Amino acid sequence: MRFKITMNSNELGSNTPNKCPLCGSDLEERSGRYGKFLGCKKFPECRYTFDLSVDTTEIKCPDCGNNLQFRIGKYGRFLSCSGFPDCKFTFNPEFKEHPDIFCPRCEKVLVIKITESEKYLGCTGHPECDFKLEWIDAPEQVDKKQIYPNCPKCGSELVKRSGKYGFFLSCDSYPQCRFAFNPEFENRENLFCPECKKPLEVKMGRYGKFIGCSGYPECRYTFDLRN
């Protein structure tokens, strides 16, 4: 049997495990593309890991009141609650749908601001409130071209096009393959996530409809044809 679980420390060193809580084996410090972590010595039979790459901020979690911490994950740098796993709140400005976080000084909403020289979380109460927190992207975080699912009919790439009913996806092999996907149509066929292969769903967010993976939150693949 194989186990896979990832835990995160509330405060580095405060609850760092000495033994694997799943199988009782020793843990060893390792380095990965997302920073340092403890891994079980029985890997790959046991896949327990404990994240050591924490950087605590003074911003409070809006769900539970604990401090938020910078972490680096598959989708770059993000903030997560130091109360994990009891609280699973996360904030990543790269996601189209993300919750609000609030200034620790005046409690107004914080937003990502980008200038020629820096990227930072700034308070919407500026200039009355000058709170700012530098946001440094992960080294591997780069602008990526939107990857759409493959055509479920023939396996070719799907491309974004515009028609009388708005933006839609159609097969790059047209006219040989006439598959098309429009999230506004009720009789649309299923698409499958290019990252985890689970079915994609049309979801409703604060800015309207978007397509997201049914495997959320384990898989956070999304696309929005309006962008």
Q: Label the pairing between strands 46-51 and 3-8.
A: parallel
Q: What is the pLDDT at residue 33?
A: 54
pLDDT at 167 over 50: yes
Neighbours of 197 (CB within 10 A): 11
Residues 215, 218: Cα–Cα separation, whole Å: 6
Report pLDDT digits (tens) over 149-158. Answer: 999 999 888 8
3-state secondary structure the chain: CCEEEEEECCCCCCCCCCECCCCCCEEEEEEECCEEEEEECCCCCEEEEEECCCEEEEEECCCCCCEEEEEEECCEEEEEECCCCCCCCEECCCCCCCCCCECCCCCCEEEEEECCCCEEEEECCCCCCCCEEECCCCCCCCCCCCCCCECCCCCCEEEEEEECCEEEEEECCCCCCCCEECCCCCCCCCCECCCCCCEEEEEEECCEEEEEECCCCCCCCEECCCC
Distance CA 183, CA 201 (A): 9
Q: Among 2, 35, 40, 37, which residue's Cα sits nearest to residue 21?
A: 40
The pLDDT of residue 81 is above 80: yes
Tell me the residue type at 185: F
Report the C-alpha gap between 161 and 159 in whole angstroms: 6
For the chain, give every domain's residue range.
3-51, 55-134, 158-223
Q: pLDDT at residue 109 above 90? A: yes
Q: How confident is the model at residue 58 (pLDDT cuts 50, 70, 90)?
A: very high
Quick: pLDDT tens for 190-212.
899 988 999 999 888 776 788 99
> Is the model's pLDDT at 5 over the cut of 50?
no
Q: Which of residues 114 and 145 earns the better pLDDT score?
A: 114
- Prediction pTM value: 0.44
pLDDT tens per residue across span 25-50: 888 887 765 556 778 888 878 877 77
